[in-house]
Amino acid sequence: MKNKTDERQDKAEAWFDKLEKYAKEKKMPARILDEIEECRERLSSSEVDWHEMNLMVRELLESIEEKACPEVVQGKQSKQEVTVQEVEEQVRRMAQRCHAENITSVESMGEQKNILLKKNYEQLMEISHTKAHLEELKNEDLYIQFFQNCKSAYERDVLDMLRDMLQSISNNYSHMLDHMRSMFQSIGGYKNGLGNEKFYREYEERRIGIDKKVQGEAETSDMGGNDLLTLGQKTGEKIKGIVSKLVRKRKILAWLPLVILLCVFAGSAIGNQEQSIEIIESAKADSDTDNSPIKEAAIDAGVNAIKSASSSVIMTVLVSIITFILALVISLSVVLIFVILLVIVIYWFYLKMLNAWCNHQICTKCGAYLKTELIQYTQNNNLSSKLDEVMENAVEEYERQYMIVLSNIFQGSSYDSSQEQEDEKSKLSFLHSEWDKIMYE
């Protein structure tokens, strides 16, 4: 079974066969054929120095490319007052200048980007002002909606910034192509196949499409808005736990006075059960005297309670409590009603104070937690880097699209030096890629 070294040598040998065949077809100089043969001899060695071999092959391919794809197309230069190289150099300078202007357009958005991020951070920090956002803290849906609103506002601001930047870049390319069109007019562009009609057809008709394409890709890219929702979901779980714990504590404290009062009543009722019965029976015996409707109803209810008493412990306690309360109604009447109303009012104020205490605790504990989390988020988040990536990708896509436009503008004209060399470059590119696979896979 062959090892990896043997397999690489076999593949390299087959590759040199293809290269030699190509060189002979293109009638390359004997020097190049000799270099191919020298590489073959080194390849047959027991220990191949692949680093040195790679350097030799690179130099060999460059020599072949210089012979197969000369920069100046013969037969064209003599017919033009301006050479292909001069035109290409001028176009290259224009493209470089436009690229520099694009970078300036991106950098000019730096201050706007910082303002946008600062605005987003301030909007996020609003939730840490818990007194103003108590409802959001107590309602999970409202809490998540707060972060959804932050996300929507952030993405809206980002898209406005991107539209400004892309408009600036579009203007840069418009100016570049206007200068290019003027240049070709000055050197006889019509004569060489580059009139205004070609510029209009290849650029003007595609400009709006390019703008929409690049802007659409920018709008669907990851600008960091989902990070805000992730932050809301992460902190929401903790907030929910804090609020639930405090609400449970508030409910327990709300029921506690009633439980204590019930226990006191039960103890007093059991201890004074006989006295309560005597009061009710005495009031019944004196029923001919002038009693109030409340007292008469209490007497009847007390008698019925005494009659319904059973041996059950629970029933005994309930009857004791009922008879005790009714005895109080019979003996105190109006005074007792006032006392009951007073107790109700005091309990209502107690519930109000308890609710205020609970809300204060929610605001304090949630506020401390949120401030810590949000400060950490603003220090560690990658919104800025994501925005930079979106902006850079938009510029790169613009440049790629306009390079396609430029290649179409030159296609078929006297300045299209690639027209006669495209097949050769394609073949050489394939040989390059095959050699790279042999070296690096």
45-75 pLDDT per residue, tens:
878 888 888 888 888 888 887 777 654 333 3
pLDDT bucket at 420, cuts 50 / 70 / 90: low
The token pair that represents 160 in the structure block: 């406005």
pLDDT bucket at 77, cuts 50 / 70 / 90: very low
Is the pLDDT at 306 greater than 60? The verdict is no
The token pair that represents 285 in the structure block: 């015996």
What residue type is assigned to position 422 of the chain?
Answer: E
Q: What is the mean pLDDT of residues 191-202?
A: 61
Q: Which of 283, 274, 275 is nearest to 301 (CA)?
A: 283
Q: What is the DSSP letter of 424?
A: H
Q: What is the DSSP letter of 309?
A: -
394-407 pLDDT per residue, tens:
888 888 887 777 77
Question: Between vectors from CA 410 to CA 199 and to CA 195, what angle results, nearest 5°?
Answer: 40
338-369 pLDDT per residue, tens:
666 787 888 889 889 998 999 899 999 999 99
How many residues make up the chain in this entry?
Answer: 441
Using CA of residue 90, residue 96, residue 100, residue 101, what is the dihedral sign?
A: positive
pLDDT bucket at 84, cuts 50 / 70 / 90: low
The C-alpha atoms of residue 247 and residue 314 are separated, in whole angstroms, by 32
Q: What backbone phi and psi angles, to 5 degrees, belong to 47?
A: -125, 105
CA distance readout (Å), 188 to 76, 87, 192, 196: 14, 12, 7, 11
CA distance readout (Å), 242 to 249, 265, 278, 359, 364: 11, 36, 54, 11, 11
Instruction: Out of 144-148, 163-167, 274-278, give the one with best mean pLDDT.
Output: 144-148
CA distance readout (Å), 103 to 144, 388, 391, 395: 38, 12, 10, 8
pLDDT of residue 326: 53
Q: Which residue has the higher pLDDT, 80 or 3?
A: 3
This prediction's pTM: 0.58
The token pair that represents 428 in the structure block: 């050489």
Of the candidate ranges 75-79, 171-175, 213-217, the one whose mean pLDDT is the lowest: 75-79
pLDDT bucket at 287, cuts 50 / 70 / 90: very low
Q: What backbone phi and psi angles, to 5 degrees, belong to 382?
A: -115, 30
Q: What backbone phi and psi angles, to 5 degrees, belong to 81?
A: -75, -30
User: Which residue is listed with tokens 């013969």?
Assistant: 74
Q: Which residue has the higher pLDDT, 98 or 293?
A: 98
Q: What is the mean pLDDT of residues 233-238?
A: 90
Question: DSSP for 66-129?
Answer: HHHS-SSPTTTGGG-SS-HHHHHHHHHHHHHHHHHHHHHHHHHTHHHHHHHHHHHHHHHHGGG-
Q: Which of 412, 408, 401, 413 is nearest to 173 (CA)?
A: 401
Q: What is the DSSP letter of 46?
A: S
CA distance readout (Å), 405 to 200, 327, 419, 437: 11, 102, 16, 32
89-107 pLDDT per residue, tens:
777 788 888 888 888 888 8
Instruction: Out of 123-127, 191-195, 272-276, 301-305, give the one with best mean pLDDT.
Output: 123-127
Is the pLDDT at 149 greater than 90? The verdict is yes
The C-alpha atoms of residue 163 and residue 160 are separated, in whole angstroms, by 5
CA distance readout (Å), 397 to 11, 200, 251, 393, 432: 37, 21, 60, 6, 26
The C-alpha atoms of residue 357 and residue 340 are separated, in whole angstroms, by 25
Q: What is the mean pLDDT of residues 148-157?
A: 91
User: Which residue is listed with tokens 């009609």?
Assistant: 197
3-state secondary structure of 28: coil
Is the pLDDT at 127 greater than 60? The verdict is yes
Q: What backbone phi and psi angles, to 5 degrees, belong to 193?
A: 90, 20
pLDDT of residue 4: 60
